[in-house]
A = this chain, B = another copy of it.
């Protein structure tokens, strides 16, 4: 096993990896940007080195600096977390050249899976079902029209190098086809420096369900159940659960077997996730493979008891995956809420700033709190607004939901806005409770009116009143002369009020 690992990331995922290192007796090395000098991952690591300026380009995306620090501090391996350089095959190649063990897949499968058309070709060849559409990028408008007629509208235009909803266009009417194609190409060009776009049949009322896999150096691949990720906002997942309330056992095992086949087809290694689109008839199609740890990996850990980050390290160090498929027996139900520094009452605007008060939601059976913040911490403007992940486990889905609501009720973040109230709404919603929801759920939810509660308003007013009363009282009994000016000011104010 490694003696020292560098974590090329920040926030909750860096903290997650540092904790796994500590449990394995591995020295953890953090790197940080100027904006992250006081960050939690720096506080918890064994060692820490400054990367550079606050912008990702100067720090967490700066390949040369990261490689150089890794070599200088004597780390044998590097964990990329998710985001930043985690799926950058160029970076992986550099690690390979410099003899640094990259805790993730080799560069080749990463490259194949990183290009959508290449992975579609590969998957089709391996017998993995793919969404009807083109296998190659479309360059001219004539081919576009021809192919669109072949697979029939509605269709999706997708950037070959895309992700996160950028360079994505849904076309329902044929007269929008060409203009959407031009827009998708220009967005793809500006976002990924690659204008290539291809066509896919649009699946109505889609479910987004993914399979976690683990693969070792010796060709042994297992799947660890699915995660239901259909609760999305602007193509970003916000809440995940396992098992999916939409699948039956036959479907989940079939998807698991296909996911293993997909990974084997590209000689995949380490932890990875095969994402599927599932239509309303439970027919499923390969969507893409995430060649890294997922943000939502904790729900799988909660039901299987298997620590995925530790397995990432064991596999990277060359240990065989001793887990057998039949030994992996998920138990109960788990849900994860991604707590973002965003204002759900104001169109999910980011809300950076200082966390003045923090009540964390720990305590009791089945509550997990993976955090990247602390009281007094200033949430920086430069990075993803994910503050923490709150995960619960229950014997049943209902218990996991009730536990999440309980934990959310104890979780209070003051000073900035968070998505906590938004999750409380989701978890009370009849359609979510029914378990039958698809990727359109949040869109529909946002259109519903929100009946404003007023009980807390009354309490807030009473609090302000009592605070004023008590300060007044302590002022009139205190002998300090410094207080007098405030007192006078208050007097003048009250005089003014009376006059009006």
Contact = CB atoms under 8 A, between A and B. Distances in A.
Nearest to A307: B365
A301 B365 contact: yes
A46 to B, nearest CB: 10
A371 B365 contact: no
A403 B307 CA distance: 11
B370 A368 contact: no
Contact of A363 (B363, B370, B395, B399): B370
A425 interface: no
Given A395-B306, A410-B44, A25 B402 contact: yes
Interface string A381-401: 000000000000101000100
A22 B307 contact: no
Nearest to A370: B363
A193 B403 CA distance: 44
Given A364-B368, A402-B24, A305 B395 contact: yes
A409 interface: yes
A365 B399 contact: no
A360 B393 CA distance: 20
A370 B410 CA distance: 13
Contact of A19 (B15, B24, B371, B406): B406
A356 interface: no
A28 to B, nearest CB: 11
A129 to B, nearest CB: 33
Contacts of A23: 399, 402-403, 405-406
A300 to B, nearest CB: 10
B305 A22 contact: no
A332 B360 contact: no
A369 interface: yes
Interface in A352-382: 360, 362-371
A370 B365 CA distance: 9
A20 interface: yes
A110 to B, nearest CB: 26
Contacts of A24: 402
A298 interface: yes
Q: Which among A15, A22, A405, A410 has the greatest number of chain B C-beta atoms within 10 A? A: A22
Contacts of A369: 362-363
A440 interface: no
A220 interface: no
A357 to B, nearest CB: 11
Contacts of A409: 22
Using C-beta atoms within 8 Å of the partner chain, give the interface range for chain A. Answer: 35 or more
Interface string A25-54: 100000000000000000010000000000
A305 B399 CA distance: 11
Interface in A399-455: 399, 402-403, 405-406, 409-410
Contacts of A7: none
A365 B366 CA distance: 10
A16 B406 CA distance: 12
A173 to B, nearest CB: 48
Interface in A55-84: none
Q: Which among A15, A302, A362, A402 has the greatest number of chain B C-beta atoms within 10 A? A: A362
Contact of A365 (B363, B368, B403, B405): B368
A331 interface: yes
Interface string A280-319: 0000000000000000001001100111000000000000
Contacts of A15: 363
A41 to B, nearest CB: 12
B360 A331 contact: no
Given A306-B395, A360-B360, A395-B306, A298 B365 contact: yes
Contact of A370 (B22, B364, B402): B364
A403 B16 CA distance: 13
Contacts of A307: 365-366, 395, 399
23 contacts: A15-B363, A16-B363, A19-B364, A19-B406, A20-B364, A22-B405, A22-B406, A22-B409, A23-B402, A23-B405, A25-B402, A44-B410, A305-B366, A305-B395, A307-B395, A307-B399, A331-B331, A360-B362, A363-B368, A363-B371, A364-B368, A365-B368, A367-B368
Given A19-B406, A23-B403, A362-B371, 7 more contacts: A20-B364, A22-B409, A305-B393, A305-B395, A307-B365, A363-B368, A363-B369
